[in-house]
Structure 1
Amino acid sequence: MLKRFLLGTCSLVIIGLTLDGCNSSKGEYKEVLKDPQLYHASVKKLTDIIVHDIFSPPVASRIYVYPNIAAYEVLVNQYPDYQSLAGQLNGLGEAPKPDPAKEMDLHLASIHAFLTVGKALIFSEEKMDVFRNKLYNKIQETDIPSDVFDNSIEYGETMAKHIMDWVALDNYKQSRSFPKYTVMDNPDYWKPTPPDYMEGIEPHWMKIRTLALDSCNQFVPKPPTPYDMAKNSQFYKELMEVYETGVNLSEEQTEIAKFWDCNPYVSHHKGHAMFATKKITPGGHWVGITAIATKQANSNFMQTSEAYTMVTIGLFDGFIACWDEKWRSILIRPETVINQFVDEDWVPLLQTPPFPEYTSGHSVISNAAASVLTKLYGEKFSYHDTTEMEYGLQPRNFDSFFAASEEAAISRLYGGIHYMPAITEGITQGRQVGSWVLDNVKTRKGSLSEAKKED
């Protein structure tokens, strides 16, 4: 059976090594293919490509969710305690069933569906091809019959097409031609920030079809604090909280801010030279936490798919709800106001992202993801978060998923890029999204507690 390995290692190499020699007894391929490490390796490859291609956080959430749904929809045909998401997710129709006359392995079919849908949503398709081809070559070196392999791939392809037909109607393609945001002179409205003064990212993301939410504006937070530069105003107090926190950061606060930065593109300017560093998105960090949790809990292949699928649904809808508010309130970032009225030389610890301030995306999506993971793995799930190690950051320990989500939220104050209301209201908005997903998307035919006893 495939050996366990840590997230961030060269997964394909290790899979290749452990697949060697697996043809010693008839049917052993089935044990190889039902090991969840195949799923983890596929998700990690998708993450690596998302980082390489520099997708924005909202777009990355879309790239994560659809491949996982495709894999999940394949697997429900083998696990009778689980049910399809057809009719539960907006616009998702009944999925094609496997042909009972054809012998196949649905774990392999699910991996193929995942990789096929993932490839269709990225830029660097050749990177996915290389991963897939090496993986499949190794699988074919086991004792898997050629017809079983071919039938599995065929069904995975059929499911991928079904999902991609659905994906095509989510309004993403149409939104690529929508007009860019035009910067307005209103003093309270968002303006591009240094060092690159990038245009606003995804001002029409609220028009993307939601998955579980009824609409993008189902959970509209209360409006942000009114812009008012009078020194006794609430807004000015919130502004100075950002500034004073930033100039008095402790070592722990600095570490927290950097750990949760998750900026997919940070530009660095040295004189006339400019270079950039690339990292995972905020959603990618929570996908990494999902990997850690499922491995620590010894989740089987189906449970692993369920966790990735439900978490990414929460992330996807969380970004839509958050972006709906961002581009309604269009609130100016602290950096712009502080530089204009308080300290022209002040620079936040973290690079300000290129979109409006309210609500905090980290706060929303972290709490949506934490809601799902808490439901699946419990309120007192302690874990060692190693997600950022490959980006040079030390791991952190958490006693629960909500403890992590709350730290992710407050990290944005430490980083100097959010006022407190964006954080507190973002937490509320994220938990509303997470609760709605859990109440309206059911993966188990029985209750989750009953299913846990049987698994």
Structure 2
Amino acid sequence: MKRVTKNIFLGVMMVIGMIACQENGDYEDVITDGSYQTAAQIRLTNVIIHDIFSPPVASRIYAYPSIAAYEVAVIADPQYKSMMGQLNDFEKKEFEAPEDVYFPLASLAAYYKVATALIFSEEKMTSHRDMAFEEIRKKGVPKKVFQKSVAFGEEVADHVIAYSKKDNYHESRSFEKYTVRNDPHTWQPTPPAYGEGIEPHWNKIRPFVLDSAAQFKSVPPTEFSSDPSSLFYQEAAEVFHVINDLTEEQKDIAFFWDCNPYKVNVKGHVMFAEKKITPGGHWMGIAAIAAKTAGRDWKGTAEALAITGVALFDGFIACWDEKYRSILIRPETYINKYIDEDWLPLLQTPPFPEYTSGHSVISNAAAETLTKVFGEPFHFVDSTEVAYGLPIREFESFRHAADEAAISRLYGGIHYMPAIVHGSTKGQKVGHHLLGRVSTKTENLAEN
């Protein structure tokens, strides 16, 4: 009987000891790496796909939550530098964190709150947040610490949400739709859905670091001509012949980087949509993979995602500015009219003008930024598309991946080469400009 009583006593003391350890701060290892934020980003990607946000809008939805999560990391660690005062119109604000705030949790709370504010299907995000928070609670974060941490993260989130509301996005929802022109060189809606032009006023959205949407204005596209001896005809013929002679590897590359958020399929009299990740979402996935590959902690992960989000956002603004300036005809339309009326591209042509290539711009902007953060060479396994039925691909650098993403648009049959070449140049300029404007590490201030 005494032995039983002694065992019960020891058991009670062990429980009391565990509780005491938790209350005395023995929970610092609950969140160390970026796995929770990566999981939140994957959830956000799924919601973006569900809600069918276009690629430019998706880049906005990725950027602001990532900035909010990063700003908490800045408060937690003085080696990181705030983006407040560096991004256009992002006003500085002093935040006083409670003494017992758990910063990794506060960062996660900031991410969830901003992300939820930018989507339609809010419940899908909040339910994921609740599951993550419950798991963190069970791992030993004390109730008071938990509540204060979440409240502090949401305070930072409120500042970022207020910043997002001034970027002209909401006003642009009421701007007039694009009116298709009859000029022979201009973009026309393409089959099978003949969708209207997406985001014709995206150049009116406030960029993060660009002085204006047209700061890195591309050279004009090749002069339009239907003459078989003309340069434009030859560029279209190149697309035609490449598609007709694709290798299996080229097809794999095209499909891997397709990233068409809303592909319309037609079978007989039935039309149905296939929804997938956006190109910006693909690169946000790469940023998360890189952070994990490099063994970055939660703060380093927040840094990588935030700076990539900024690069993608401004990349889309710069690209869309040119698309609706040149309003260039797509290869599918041109080839069907002047070369072969039965020809089809490998990939479905997206519903907006051709020049410049969006993939080329945003991939190179992201690649320059990620190269700054992680260095070069940097081998990584890109598994972003596995969830959508595609295999992994491996790259030796972010620039290697960007080059492949860019040329994939030729293999897909949806861009002429000048859009790829000049789009890549534009993206590199956006990335370099970003790195000259924004520093995420205090020791890098002298360099910038």
TM-score range, shorter chain: over 0.9
Identity of aligned residues (%): 55
Which amino acid is the alignment partner of residue 58 of structure 1?
P
1:30 Cα offset (Å) = 1.7
Corresponding position: 1:170 with 2:198: no
8 Å Cα contact 1:318/1:368 also seen in 2: yes
Q: Deviations over 1:186-240 (max 9, x none)?
A: 0001010000000000000000000011110100010000101111111010010
**Equivalent position to 1:339, from 331, 336, 352:** 336
- Give distance in 2, aligned partners of 1:30 and 1:44: 24
List aligned pairs for 1:426-445, cutoff 5 A: 426-445=423-442
Alignment-derived partner of residue 8 in structure 1: none
- Which is further off, 58-67 or 274-283? 274-283
Shift of 1:24: 9.4
Partner of 2:356: 359
SS in 2 for 1:31: coil
Partner AA of 2:199 in structure 1: E
Q: Partners in 1 of 2:242 and 2:26 — Cα distance?
A: 58
* Counterpart for residue 18 of structure 1: none
Q: Provide the residue aligned with 1:40 in structure 2.
A: 38
Alignment of 1:52-91 (within 5 A): 52-91=50-89
CA RMSD, 1 decimal = 1.5
Runs of 5+ unmatched residues, structure 1: 1-21, 451-455
* Deviations, residues 25-68 of structure 1 (Å, cap 9, x unaligned): 43332211233211111111111111111111000000000001
Corresponding residue pairs, total: 428
Which residue does 1:330 correspond to in 2?
Answer: 327
TM-superposition CA deviations, 1:92-138 (whole Å, max 9, x none): 011341344x5211111111110000001111101011111111122
Equivalent position SS for 1:91: coil
1:154-193 to structure 2, matched below 5 A, reads: 154-193=151-190
The whole-number CA distance in structure 2 between the counterparts of 1:407 and 1:133 is 38
**C-alpha contact 2:30 2:140 (8 A) present in aligned 1:** no
- Give the residue type in structure 2 aligned to 1:62: R
SS, match of residue 274 in structure 1: strand
Q: Which has the larger radius of gyration?
A: 2
Moved >4 Å (runs of 4+): 22-25
Question: How many Å separate the matches in 1 of 2:27 and 2:126?
Answer: 22
Map 1:288-327 → 2, pairs under 5 A? 288-327=285-324
SS of alignment partner, residue 267 of structure 1? strand
**One-letter code aligned to 1:412:** R
AA in 2 matched with 1:213: L
Counterpart residue number, 2:123 = 126
Native 8 Å contact 2:227 2:233 kept in 1: yes
TM-score with structure 1 setting the length: 0.92
TM superposition shift of 1:145: 2.0
Aligned position for 2:268: 271
Retained in 1: the 8 A contact 2:36–2:132? no
Amino acid at match of 2:222: T
Q: Partners of 1:412 and 1:36 in 2: how far apart? A: 32
1:234 maps to 231
Contact 2:359 2:406 (8 Å CA) reproduced: yes
Offset at residue 376 of structure 1 (A): 1.1
Amino acid at match of 1:144: V
Choose from 409, 412, 419 the match for 2:406: 409
Q: Contact 2:439/2:445 (CA < 8 Å) preserved in 1?
A: no
* Alignment-derived partner of residue 10 in structure 2: none
Counting only pairs closer than 5 Å after superposition, residues 110-125 of structure 1 correspond to structure 2 as 110-125=107-122
Secondary structure, counterpart of 1:384 in structure 2: strand
| Length-normalised TM-score, structure 2 | 0.93
1:390 CA drift (Å):
1.2
| C-alpha distance 25-179 of structure 1, shift in aligned 2 (>3 A) | same
Q: Which 5+ residue runs of structure 2 have no aligned equivalent? A: 1-17
